Amino acid sequence: MSKPFNVLFLCTGNSARSILGEAIVNRMGSGRFRAFSAGSQPKGAVHPLALELLQSKGLSTEGFRSKSWSEFAVGAPEMQLIVTVCDQAAGEVCPIWPGHPVVAHWGLPDPAAAIGTLAERREAFRDAFEVLERRIHMLVSMPVEELDPATLKRRAQEIAALPSPAARKAAP
């Protein structure tokens, strides 16, 4: 692949899940993939527990900010894949993306909305990270440069069907 495969992670607030997805792809993608993140209604700041988790995993947090998806509608790198990580963003009317990228939905619970003790909230972030890490591992293992858009969409949607950590914890 001569240029990186660009992935944009979208959620509503761009403070947690989409930020985690961006960081994981940029590490796992080894230059073959490049990720970005944005939100339909950005919170204005990255959630402190998202930054804490990324740092604990040895991932750089430099340059992360909560930003609007409108920054990627014009004048930004062309995306090949857009991944929505929250149900609300998946249901919203998105901007017209240059290049008509494939859109897939990888919904997962918002760790920023978790309630409980600090340990419980940290666990919600770890669970989201684990799900994204497993899904992204599958994505970056695919020969995306060889896939037509319909196949890429189908394969990206299949990745979303992977069981979550919560489902595994609940299994007998």
Residues 81-121: pLDDT tens digits? Answer: 999 997 665 455 566 666 779 999 998 999 999 999 999 99
> Do 101 and 80 touch, CB atoms closer than 8 A?
yes
pLDDT score at 170: 44
> Do 37 and 8 touch, CB atoms closer than 8 A?
yes
Going by C-alpha positions, the residue among 44, 15, 16, 20 that lies closest to residue 7 is 20
> Do 84 and 10 touch, CB atoms closer than 8 A?
yes
The model carries a pTM of 0.89
> Do 66 and 14 touch, CB atoms closer than 8 A?
yes
Q: Which structural domains are found in the chain, ordered by start? A: 5-170 (3.40.50.2300)
**What is the rounded distance in angstroms from the CA atom of residue 162 to the CA atom of residue 47?**
26
**What is the rounded distance in angstroms from the CA atom of residue 19 to the CA atom of residue 75?**
21
pLDDT confidence of 141, banded at 50, 70, 90? very high
Tokens of 120: 């419980």
Percent of the residues in the chain that have a pLDDT greater than 70, as a whole number? 87
Going by C-alpha positions, the residue among 156, 69, 147 that lies closest to residue 105 is 156
Residue 140 clears pLDDT 70, i.e. is over it: yes
Tens-digit pLDDT profile for residues 9-25: 999 899 999 999 999 99
Find the mean pLDDT for residues 26-41: 93
What spatial distance separates the first Cα and last Cα of the chain, rounded to whole Å? 44
Tens-digit pLDDT profile for residues 46-87: 999 999 999 999 998 999 999 998 888 777 788 999 999 976
**What is the rounded distance in angstroms from the CA atom of residue 81 to the CA atom of residue 37?**
12
pLDDT score at 167: 45
pLDDT score at 71: 85
**What is the rounded distance in angstroms from the CA atom of residue 28 to the CA atom of residue 151?**
22
Residue 164 clears pLDDT 90, i.e. is over it: no
pLDDT score at 162: 72
pLDDT score at 95: 62
